[in-house]
Amino acid sequence: MSRLLVTAILVAAALAPVQAQTVRVVAVADFENISVDSGLIPSAHLSALLHWLLQQQGGDLRVVAADSVRTALRARGYTVADLVSPTRVAEIAQAVGADWVVTGRWTHLRIISRSVPEDPTTPSARDGDGFAVADVEIRVLEASTRRRIFEGRFSGRAAGADYGALMLAATEALRGVAATIARL
């Protein structure tokens, strides 16, 4: 009797429709950088970092090569600033075979040093203390419907007043971006 029950369960499981996992193809455009210290980290470097972080999320995401996105932009004479138009974003998505396109801009990507006191006669309580700030606004557009499926702001902070601290802050912000996109 139990053997018959086990066989019936196995047959039912084998006949049940298998749900295919939908793979989302995601294109990441270089982000516009309107921050004060915009030249410290090239946008292409930060895009490569986000590309890698998205790949680390695993699951059902496939990320389009960044060079393909840049090539599609150049072929149409677009810059990343032109990607505020859903029509243009959808055009780029179609060119690279993406379901979603991630666009954004760095609003703060800077190093702040507190080593100089406001009053030159007063010694600084935090002599040499500094930190890095990274704030990015992103949008995820679904190409087929041309609608934004996500819009948000992510921040990262790191102690230190150098390039390494700025990279840590940017990485923290981009980790939040990647985790959010993976959950969409």
Return d(Cα 51, Cα 45) in angstroms, integer.
10
The answer to whether residue 5 scores a pLDDT higher than 70 is no
Indicate whether 5 belongs to any domain. Answer: no
Q: Is the pLDDT of residue 168 over 70?
A: yes
Residue 3, C-beta contacts closer than 8 angstroms, at least 6 positions apart? none
126 and 159 Cβ atoms separated by less than 8 Å: no
| pLDDT tens, residue by residue, 88-135 | 999 999 999 999 999 999 999 998 887 655 555 544 444 457 899 999
Give the total number of structural domains in the chain.
1
For residues 71 and 168, what is the distance between their CA atoms, to the nearest angstrom? 29
Question: What is the reported pLDDT for 129?
Answer: 77
Assigned domain for 55 exists: yes
Between CA 182 and CA 124 the distance in angstroms is: 44
Q: Angle 35-36-38 (CA atoms, 0-180°, nearest 5)?
A: 60
Inter-residue contact 69 to 96 (CB < 8 Å): yes
Kindly report the average pLDDT of the chain as a whole number. Answer: 85
Beta carbons of 46 and 174 less than 8 angstroms apart: yes
Backbone angles phi, psi at 88, to 5 degrees: -70, -40
What percent of the chain shows pLDDT beyond 90? 66
Residue 136 belongs to some domain of the structure: yes
Residue at 14 is within a domain: no
Q: What is the CATH number of the domain that holds 41?
A: 3.40.50.10610
Residue reference for tokens 């923290």: 172
What is the residue range of 105's domain? 21-183
**What CA–CA distance (Å, rounded) separates 140 from 104?**
9
- Asked if the structure places residue 9 within a domain, the reply is no
**DSSP codes of every residue in 136-170:** EEEEEEETTTTEEEEEEEEEEEEESSSHHHHHHHH
**Predicted pLDDT at 125:** 44
d(CA 10, CA 32): 54
**The pLDDT of residue 16:** 47
Q: Which residue has the higher pLDDT, 66 or 124?
A: 66
Question: Is residue 4 included in any domain, yes or no?
Answer: no
> What whole-number distance in Å separates Cα of residue 82 and Cα of residue 71?
15
61 domain-assigned: yes
Tell me phi and psi for residue 131, to 5 degrees.
-150, 165
pLDDT per residue over 10-27, tens digit each? 555 555 444 455 899 999
What's the pLDDT score for residue 1? Answer: 56
**pLDDT, position 115:** 60
pLDDT score, position 119: 52
Is position 15 within any domain?
no
